[in-house]
Amino acid sequence: MLNKKYVGDYRLENEKNKKGKQVTKAVYKSAYFVFEKPEDEVRTAVRAVTVLTAAAVAAFAVALAFYSNKGFSAQYYTLIPFALCVFPLLYLCFAVYALNRFMRGSERRATREQKDKMYERLAKSTFVIMLLSGWNICGIILAFILRTAGKEARPVTANDIIFAIMSIIFFTSAVLSFSFRKKVSMRQE
């Protein structure tokens, strides 16, 4: 099933199958896309983004495992942006999967739909993760400032420290993944 956005990229053609019946097939007629960088650079970037995405998923899971409702990690300004990161993180995982699947194949030309699934998803999801996890880190810093100023009564627990460290690792992996997006950019062939 094609997305409405990509319907114009295909043309319907009639063919006869082995049994002699007429079959209608969708044939791609639009432009193909190739990577701008050499293949070895792209492979290195895809491996790096895959490792960084795995680190982000692990940091996200560990941070949620060490979430504590007694410390500052329970504050809405630290927890809400971090919890919202689950959606762009899934989107990033899909982009990395599409990149790895494309790199394993023999075809080096991508359709517009494939390009959007690989490059566009990577760029958009890492940018949203950077914004939300940056908001999370600002909330953690604010909680520390309020705690040291005596305005916040909640104690800083060991779980909060682990939550803060995992949040920083999560943010860093998103920033580095965002920087690798240029290595996997595509141009029209």
pLDDT (tens digit, 9 = 90+) per residue, 114-135?
A: 888 888 999 999 999 999 999 9
Long-range contacts formed by 67-71: CB under 8 A, 24+ apart: 67/159, 67/163, 68/157, 68/159, 68/160, 68/163, 70/154, 70/155, 70/157, 71/154, 71/155, 71/156, 71/157, 71/159, 71/160, 71/163
**Together in a domain, 18 and 62:** no
**Together in a domain, 25 and 118:** no
**Together in a domain, 75 and 95:** yes
**Together in a domain, 17 and 80:** no
Q: What is the pTM of this model?
A: 0.84
What is the pLDDT at residue 1? 57
**Together in a domain, 43 and 78:** yes
Q: For 80-122, what is each residue's pLDDT tens digit?
A: 888 899 999 999 999 999 999 999 988 888 988 888 888 899 9
Structurally, how many domains does the chain consist of?
A: 2
**Together in a domain, 82 and 24:** no
> Of 48, 188, 189, 39, whose CA–CA distance to 122 is shortest?
48
* pLDDT beneath 70, residues of the chain: 1-2, 68-69
* Domain hosting residue 70, numbered range: 36-188
What is the pLDDT at residue 28? 87
**Together in a domain, 16 and 46:** no
**Together in a domain, 21 and 94:** no
What is the pLDDT at residue 6? 84
**Together in a domain, 74 and 96:** yes
Q: How far apart are the C-alpha atoms of 150 and 141, rounded to whole Å?
A: 14
CATH code where residue 71 lies: 1.20.120.230
What is the pLDDT at residue 36? 92
**Together in a domain, 83 and 14:** no
**Together in a domain, 82 and 140:** yes
What is the pLDDT at residue 2? 64
**Together in a domain, 4 and 50:** no
